[in-house]
Amino acid sequence: MTPEDSLSRLSLIKAVLGPFLRLMFRPHAEGVENIPGSGPVILAGNHLTFIDSMIMPLVCTRPVYFIGKDEYVTGKGLKGRAMAWFFSGVGMVPVDRDGANGGVAALMTGRRILESGRMFGIYPEGTRSPDGRLYRGHSGIARLTLMTGAPVVPFAVIGTDKLQPGGSGLPRPGRVTLRFGEPMEFSRYEGMERNRYVLRAVTDSVMTEVMRLSGQEYVDMYASKAKAA
């Protein structure tokens, strides 16, 4: 699928499903003007439920590309084809994240998207929050901004956990708020993407902004470990 194919599908999906999704979720966006109108941009924010990535395109004027599980586009039959058409159309890029090189594949995919001048969305927590709190961010976000020079626009999704408790099942109608912070740039660390102290400092800076925007309680541990406990 080419970027042009994705854009045409996104336009169609927004035209057909947009009014329904807006009526159901009543998205309210704050700070959209902080998103640069062109060039590579990293959107980094919290992750509460499955529908977070579905609501994002409703408030962004530019297409946002997210990494998703490849199982969303590999299903069989009519349902599988419909899911593949929809998820690829809303900007999901399938990656096998469960493989031995899943993390590297996700990182390189994000890098390709940014180097082509597009906007890449990432959830630094790595998975949905198990309890509505904000968890420690993985350093992939720092590697991406240092490798590509793309600015990071922190964002917060507020309210989706109330509409889709547990992150799965059919969501309820309700109001969702998205807040976007001012762009963050880390050019002072150029060439230091292998320095783990720099990577942690950059990641924590981004997560601090996400916490400020979301108002969530912060937990200094990875969400995956909290889920496994």
Structure tokens at 81: 């084809």
Q: How confident is the model at residue 173 (pLDDT cuts 50, 70, 90)?
A: very high
CA nearest to 58, candidates 93, 104, 20: 20
**pTM greater than 0.85:** yes
Average pLDDT over residues 164-169: 78
Q: How confident is the model at residue 36 (pLDDT cuts 50, 70, 90)?
A: very high
Structure tokens at 197: 């102290």
Structure tokens at 131: 């309890």
Percent of the chain scoring above 90 in pLDDT:
55
Alpha carbon distance 173, 162 (integer Å): 10
Give yes or no for residue 164 having a pLDDT over 70: yes
